Chain A
Amino acid sequence: MRSYARTMFVGALATIVLMPRMAAAVDLTMYYPVAVGGPVTKLVDDMVGRFEKEYPDIKVTAVYAGNYTDTMTKAMTAMKGGQPPQLSVLLSTDVFTLIDENAIVPLDDLVADKAWFKEFYPAFMANGQIDGKTWSIPFQRSTIVLFWNKDAFKEAGLDPEGAPASWDEMVAMGKKLIKKDASGNVARWGIEIPTTGYAYWMLQALAVENGQRLMNDAGNEVFLTAPKTVAALDYWVDLSRKDAVMPTGTVDWATLRTDFLEGKTAMMWHTTGNLTAVKDSAKFNFGVAILPAKERRGSPTGGGSFYIFKSASPEQQKAAVKFIQWMTAPERAAEWSIKTGYVAVSPAAYETSVMQNYAREFPAAIVARDQLNYAVPELSVHENGRIYKFVNDAVQSAVTGAQKPQEALAGAQQQADRVLKAYK
């Protein structure tokens, strides 16, 4: 009798102790980068929580590791330290580096039906599909858009509904939008294009609009000294140095949204991922437009995609696919887009009723998606971290007047050529 009681007791204890373990059979750690304002971490936590409720046998821990560069750094360092995450959202452009480092697996063999890949916008898949394999699934994706302050436009005697359609128009409008205070100092600038953080991204937008691509498909060559790339940087530098519609020195990526919200600049170029954060705190009417054209319209795509790490166990990789499928399903993509401003990654998301209602009352929400028609893949080559630094440094040298655009870009091209030589 006593032994029976003991068995019962031990059995009950085992049940209590083992229950939660059995429920969380697969643990996943996900690194997640945050590059915009607004409560992004809360949104992701909330989605993860709902996923876990639906799939009680999978537990996902989201680790927020700073901006894209910081998160990539953390992922690479963790991998070298032997404890990489099982999945991560990283820049879609980090794909070459991740393949070179032998860090990730293609998703082709992990999914039951490859038709899934076709559900996404091809423009977002472009960066992640190399040599016929699919290495990433888009999630936190964007294009660069032009935000403009309609009240400021009205005050300056411009049509508040008309965003600049060309480079020249943007300068002309910028000049009218400049406002000076009593002592002759500028109280409001015409336009600000950020030169810290992701300067290469903005340069690529200008180059594309000028009809020049920045890299080849193999990811082992960049075209920084092409005349049209130089002309693009010339235009950017002239905005502050010749036309005086943009402040001199660097324009900070992180505080630019505040500049716009404080009315310090009438227009800004920024990621559409900031849209909802701007909408929630703007005390004036504002509009969102696709970027103005020189030879053509255009913007690089941007933002992060899901990657699955090679070192994860087969069960973990399968669970990661489930998680990614859940996160990118049309309803969730629509919800994510509404709450942040990022572009929903599949056309089906824009067919959902919630998205259609939202777009009806807030048309700015679909501008970035419409720009996909003109979009090109973001600058992505081998040794991406290094190349980005060369380009960012060149842009900063030029806008601060330390070097002429031609000279700065020639320096960056030379450095890039040396690094990329190994991949030819």
Chain B
Amino acid sequence: MHLIMTDQIIITPRGRPKQRPHWWWNAVNGWLLILPAAALLVAFTHYPIVATIRHSLFLVRRNGTEVFVGLDNYRAMFDDATFWKALINNFWFALGTVPASMALALLMALWVNRNMRGRGFLRLAFFTPTVLPMIAVANIWLFFYTPDYGLLDQLRGLFGLPGWNWLGDPSTVMGCLIVMVIWKEAGFFMIFYLAALQQLSPDLEEAAAVEGASRWYTFRRITFPLLMPTTLFVAINAVINSFKLVDHLVIMTKGGPSNASSLLLYYIYEVAFTFQDSAYASTLTVVLLVVLSTLALVKFGYLDRRIHYQ
């Protein structure tokens, strides 16, 4: 993030002959240069978005014909309790995973940024959950949460506590999934924080030490503000991930019990592929799209201006 800025001055047209190509030649050149990227973007991002929005206004009959129904799908969606359940779940899921995994990531990064023995091993250990595929992780944690003879209940058993049906009870299932995802995500975000910490000039910290600032004060007034660009980047990614991560649901709960752990994207999958209702799935996708683009707008339109980039 910090490296890109420096190169831009070099490309001044100093040594060139005076007569310039026509102004439009520059424009054509420019367009040609972005053409490959633009073509891919249009084909795989913009066109699908437009097609999805269009599709959400239609109803697909079993024989394949489409009927224009206007906003009917959206009206059905507002009456669909499962949709609201999944959306609200997703809100709690984001609230549960994002701040916690970021705080943990920062804490771990600060810890393994110091000179100490076994630093490499510790970094590796923190990063390992990220490397594991989500499906494998879900299977491991499924064993932790198995009632009675799962790891967690065996630990409870040592204290004479009864077994608890962690994933089979609506009151605990979401918390269980949140804990697992924090464990999985924190190591990944730690890498970003670690990279950012290593970019910080040690002069600042030394200067603060000379001035007699406490370590907490140094962190609060120097380190943390300088990490803000990273924090923003990580936050956006974490929020987007909280809408994107659904692999574990397939293994662990299938969204149950009774949709208590269903998330928006998982519900879209069910509607699109299990129910084969592509029109309604498009409608739900539009909602997901609106949520995510709102987040992106907040980042680029508001937060970016308030953050100090070095």
Contacts and interface: CB of A to CB of B under 8 A. Distances in A.
A15 interface: no
The interface centre, meaning the residue of A97, A252, A264 with most chain B CB atoms within 10 A of its CB, is A252
Interface string B140-171: 00000011110000000100111101011110
B160 A183 contact: yes
B128 interface: no
B141 to A, nearest CB: 14
B254 A186 contact: no
B63 interface: yes
Interface string A271-291: 000000000000000000000
B75 interface: no
A404 to B, nearest CB: 13
B258 interface: yes
B274 A385 contact: yes
Contact of A185 (B160, B258, B275): B160
Contacts of B275: 383, 385-386, 389
A77 B277 CA distance: 11
B165 A250 contact: yes
B146 A195 contact: no
B247 interface: no
A249 B165 contact: yes
B257 A247 contact: no
A73 B273 contact: yes
The interface centre, meaning the residue of A184, A250, A383, A396 with most chain B CB atoms within 10 A of its CB, is A250
B237 interface: no
Contacts, number: 90
Nearest to A250: B168
A100 B63 CA distance: 8
Contacts of B81: 411
A196 B250 CA distance: 12
B83 to A, nearest CB: 12
A139 B259 CA distance: 32
A216 interface: no
Contact of B162 (A76, A101, A185, A394): A185
A356 interface: no
Contacts of B270: 389
Nearest to A79: B276
Interface string B264-296: 000000100111100000000000000000000
Interface in B54-102: 62-63, 81-82
B258 A397 contact: yes
Interface residues of A, number: 41
Contacts of A264: 148-149
Contacts of B165: 247-250
B101 to A, nearest CB: 27
B169 A249 contact: yes
A385 B276 contact: yes
A77 B273 contact: yes
A101 B276 contact: yes
Interface residues of B, number: 29
Interface string A384-398: 011001001110110
Contacts of B257: 195-196, 249-250, 396-397, 399-400, 402
A353 interface: no
A69 interface: yes
Contacts of A383: 275
B175 interface: no
A259 B146 CA distance: 10
Given A76-B273, A250-B168, A264-B148, A185 B161 contact: yes
Contacts of B129: none
A102 interface: yes
Given A69-B274, A101-B276, A400-B170, A196 B146 contact: no
Contact of B256 (A186, A196, A385): A196
Given A69-B274, A247-B147, A400 B168 contact: yes
Contacts of B254: 196-197
Given A101-B62, A393-B258, A252 B157 contact: no
Contact of A396 (B82, B258, B274): B258
Contacts of A385: 274-276
Nearest to A76: B276
Contacts of B169: 248-250, 400
A186 B162 contact: yes
Contacts of A402: 170, 257-258, 260
B256 A250 contact: yes
Contacts of B147: 247, 249
B238 to A, nearest CB: 29
A250 B145 CA distance: 13
Nearest to B166: A249
B258 A400 contact: yes
A251 interface: yes
B276 A249 contact: no
Nearest to B276: A76
The interface centre, meaning the residue of B81, B149, B163, B258 with most chain A CB atoms within 10 A of its CB, is B258
Contacts of A195: 168, 257
A393 B82 CA distance: 10
Contacts of B170: 400, 402
A142 to B, nearest CB: 21
Nearest to A262: B149
A396 B62 contact: no
A255 interface: yes
A185 B163 CA distance: 8
Contacts of B63: 102
A77 B270 CA distance: 12
Interface of B: 62-63, 81-82, 146-149, 157, 160-163, 165, 167-170, 254, 256-260, 270, 273-276
10 contacts: A183-B161, A186-B162, A250-B257, A251-B168, A252-B167, A385-B276, A386-B275, A392-B256, A397-B258, A400-B170
**The 10 residue pairs across chains A and B that have the minimum distance between CB atoms:** A249-B168, A249-B165, A250-B168, A183-B160, A396-B258, A185-B162, A396-B257, A249-B169, A397-B258, A393-B258
Given A100-B62, A385-B274, 14 more contacts: A69-B274, A80-B276, A197-B254, A247-B163, A247-B168, A249-B165, A252-B167, A262-B149, A264-B148, A264-B149, A394-B258, A396-B256, A396-B258, A402-B258
